[in-house]
Amino acid sequence: SSKFNNTSTKTLKDFGNKKIIGLTATREKVARALTAVMNIISFTEGGVSNKAKDLGYDDLFHIRLYAKMEGGQLILIEKNEVIFIQPATSIQGEPLPVKYNSGSLTLNQLMQNAQKYMGKNFFVYDAFDNNCASFIVSILKANNIWDDADTKFLAQDVASLKKSLP
């Protein structure tokens, strides 16, 4: 799809013009069940898990971004098979506070800059080449708030993982 789902559209309508006062990226271990499915897809017993270990990832992570809005509302931004932008009640996962100049961007500006930066890949999902991590990293880079120090926490070299699978 080349547009936001209903939830994301509503969230952008309700909160899009509000200023973002803080950003937190998080990572959460991908469920072992998903790794098992990826192992089946790759036709190797433990193939994904073993290759991930070889590449220095004992576990694969799902990456999210949380925006704290003026007024206190927390907004979750993530990419699964589609982009989800929705109100959240709390931050889930291991947090990484993002160095960000409070109030310098609205939610709409954050997402429009990312869409411009990513082009046609903005709405496209690919588990290896255009996943949750590449989406969040692209949002940060597009808005000049990327910090190379965050690479180890956020970026996962799943492209190498894909190449190494049969």
Report pLDDT digits (tens) over 95-138: 988 999 998 999 999 999 999 999 999 999 887 778 888 899 99
The sheet carrying 83-88 orders its strands as 83-88, 74-79, 61-69, 20-29, 94-97
Q: Which residue carries 């990327």 as its tokens? A: 146
Looking at residue 155, its pLDDT comes to 65
Contact 83, 5 (CB under 8 A): yes
State yes or no: pLDDT of 163 exceeds 90: no
Q: Compute the average pLDDT of residues 37-59.
A: 48
The more confident residue out of 32 and 153 is 153
Question: Looking at the predicted structure, is the pLDDT value of residue 140 above 90?
Answer: yes
Q: Three-class SS of residue 100?
A: coil
SS3 34: helix
What's the pTM? 0.79
Distance of CA 47 to the CA centre of its chain: 24
**Per-residue pLDDT band at 62 (split at 50, 70, 90):** confident
Q: How far apart are CA 23 and CA 25, in angstroms?
A: 7
Where is pLDDT greater, at 52 or 137? 137
**pLDDT tier for residue 60 given thresholds of 50, 70 and 90:** confident
Would you say 146 and 113 are in contact if contact means Cβ atoms under 8 Å apart?
Answer: no
Q: Tokens standing for 40?
A: 């089946």
Collapse the DSSP code of 97 into the 3-class scheme (helix H, G, I; strand E, B; otherwise coil) and give the result.
Answer: strand
**Gap between the Cα atoms of 135 and 158, Å rounded:** 13
Q: Looking at the predicted structure, is the pLDDT value of residue 36 above 90?
A: no
pLDDT at 15: 98
Task: State residue 59's pLDDT score.
Answer: 57
Contact of 79 with 131, CB cutoff 8 Å = yes
Query: How far apart (Å, rounded) are the C-alpha atoms in residues 104 and 84?
Result: 22
